[in-house]
């Protein structure tokens, strides 16, 4: 399933709702342009909702890391919300669970940015 992305404001935080697969090609490219687009609009506090993302390959992981680094380099923060089991397992075995702040509750995630 192709990746879809929408975003909404929640105070100073932009919540990006993603659905589909983040894989080599269009999925990774859309994630990249979405994050870079937000940074261009000076939205530097980003919460990625991955509730409807059930598949990420190494290219998608690379794009998540790239986005995380780009946001951090602009003194922002990028956090993850609602991981599916497959994505959670993938972040655990690649040790990225120790890099990203991961939340299962949106209110708690939004509060963590302040």
Partner 1 sequence: MASDTKHLEMTLETQVESVNLAEEMCLRVAEAAGFGEDDCYRIGMSVREGVINAFHYGNKERPEKKIHLAVDLTADKMIIHVLDEGTGFKLSDVPDPLAEENLLSTSGRGIFLMRAFMDEFDVVSGRTGGAEIVMSKKLPAPGSASRNGQGGQNAAPQQEA
> Is 102 among the residues that bind partner 1 (CB under 8 A)?
yes
Site string for partner 1, 9-48 (x = CB under 8 A): --------------xxx-----------------------
Dihedral of CA atoms 66, 68, 70, 71 in degrees, nearest 10, equals 160
Question: Token pair of 78, please?
Answer: 């990028």
User: Do the beta carbons of residue 106 and residue 15 sit within 8 Å?
Assistant: yes
Question: Token pair of 71, please?
Answer: 């946001």
> Is 86 among the residues that bind partner 1 (CB under 8 A)?
yes
Give the range of 9-17, 36-44, 45-53, 96-104 binding partner 1 by CB under 8 A: 96-104
Backbone angles phi, psi at 79, to 5 degrees: -125, 165
- Sign (positive or negative) of CA dihedral 21, 70, 79, 94: positive
Question: Token pair of 59, please?
Answer: 């290219």
CB of 4 to partner 1, least distance (A): 17
CB of 18 to partner 1, least distance (A): 18
Contact footprint for partner 1 (CB under 8 A): 23-25, 57-59, 61-63, 65-66, 68-69, 86, 88-90, 92-99, 102-104
């Amino acid at each position: 399933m192709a990746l879809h992305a929408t975003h909404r404001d929640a105070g100073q935080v932009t919540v990006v709702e993603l659905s589909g697969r983040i894989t080599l090609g269009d999925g990774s490219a859309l994630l990249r342009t979405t994050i870079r687009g937000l940074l261009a609009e000076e939205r530097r506090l980003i919460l990625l909702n991955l509730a409807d993302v059930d598949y990420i390959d190494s290219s998608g992981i690379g794009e998540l890391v790239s986005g995380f680094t780009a946001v951090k380099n602009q003194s922002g923060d990028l956090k993850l919300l609602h991981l599916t089991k497959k994505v959670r397992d993938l972040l655990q075995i690649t040790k990225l669970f120790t890099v990203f702040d991961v939340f299962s509750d949106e209110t708690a995630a939004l509060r963590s940015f302040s």
